[in-house]
Structure formats: structure tokens, C-alpha cells
Amino acid sequence: MKMENTNCVVCQKPKANLDCGICREHVCKKCAQFLDEDSFSFMKVVPAIVKHTVYCGPCYDQNVAPVLAKYEADIEKAKTISIFMTSDSKITSRFSRKEKAIEIKDCPDREEVLLRLGFLAVEAGYNALVDVEINHEKVKPGGKYQYTKWSGKGVPTQVTSSRFL
Ligand SMILES: [Zn+2]
Ligand SMILES: [Zn+2]
């Protein structure tokens, strides 16, 4: 029987017992890069290449780092996106509404709903959301602790007039 080479692909030390999700090479705990399963939870569709939990250094740098950098930049943009509520309809009546409304459910608070809506708008290339509606309901699963579940929707749009940004 042939002994399998289990040297770490990065530092070459033996008995590396993790596998890189992309190249499948062995990698030791010290050299591995770990990624949480919910690292990209704001994305509408998470690319398969960033769905692994263990990477060797080179695969991480080449495949995960750029996606993570863009993701973090998009979250920062999402924080500054212009939000117009349904009650702002006087201001927004002439805004374009070509996109379908996007919806977010099951968030722990209002801020997260807005941030997730904003992120999806940014991902789709927009800088604002109109007709935004935020809702919440109290839930009491099995008569135990009561908590509030937040949801919301809005239409992504591009606002060009600096008066509104
Ligand atoms: Zn190593
Ligand atoms: Zn690798």
C-alpha cells in the first residue's frame, strides 16, 4: 500500500490533517485559512469558490481575498445608500422603478434589514432604494421567550440628482 503524502502544502511539515477546499492539498492548522460559513451572508448568491471553510494560503489569497474585499466595500457602500420610505412618495414620485422590489425577512433588528436591502441594491449596481417599507412582528415560539422579527422591502434605483443623495 502506498503511503499518502500528508505534508503541508505550505510549510511542508508532516501530518497536515486539513484539506484546502479548492486545490485539495493537505494543509496544517497553522498555515490554513479559515472562513466562517456565514462570511458572505448578505450576498444574494454566494459563489461556490468562497463556500469552503478551509483554504491553503495561496488559494485563499487568490480566490477568497478579492471577493472578501469587494464584499466589505459593498457593505460600506450599503451603509451610505439613500433610503426613501413609502411615506416619501412626494419626493420620489418621479424616480425610476424599473427594478423588481427586493425583500428581506427574519432579521433581528431594523438596522440589519436596511443594511441587507442596501447591500442587495449595491450589488445590483444601484445607489438608492425607494418605496421602502419596514415591518416587525413579535414571535413567541412555544410560548417561551418573545422576540421581534424584522422584515422589509424596497425597490433599488439610481438617483442622479445630488439633491437627493
Ligand atoms: Zn503548514
Ligand atoms: Zn489550496
pLDDT in tens, 103-149: 999 999 999 999 999 999 999 999 999 999 999 999 888 877 889 99
Domains in the chain (CATH in brackets) are 18-77 (no CATH), 81-160 (3.30.110.70)
- Flag whether pLDDT at 78 surpasses 60: yes
Contact criterion met (CB below 8 Å) for 26 and 7 = yes
- Whole-model pTM: value is 0.86
Tell how far the Cα of 20 is from the centroid of ligand 2, in angstroms.
5
* Proximal ligand: closest to the CA of 60: 2
- Rounded to whole angstroms, the Cα distance separating 100 from 90 reads 20
Report the pLDDT value the prediction gives residue 141, as an integer from 0 to 100: 80
Tell how far the Cα of 45 is from the centroid of ligand 1, in angstroms.
32
Tell how far the Cα of 62 is from the centroid of ligand 1, in angstroms.
18
- Flag whether pLDDT at 1 surpasses 60: no
Tell how far the Cα of 46 is from the centroid of ligand 2, in angstroms.
19
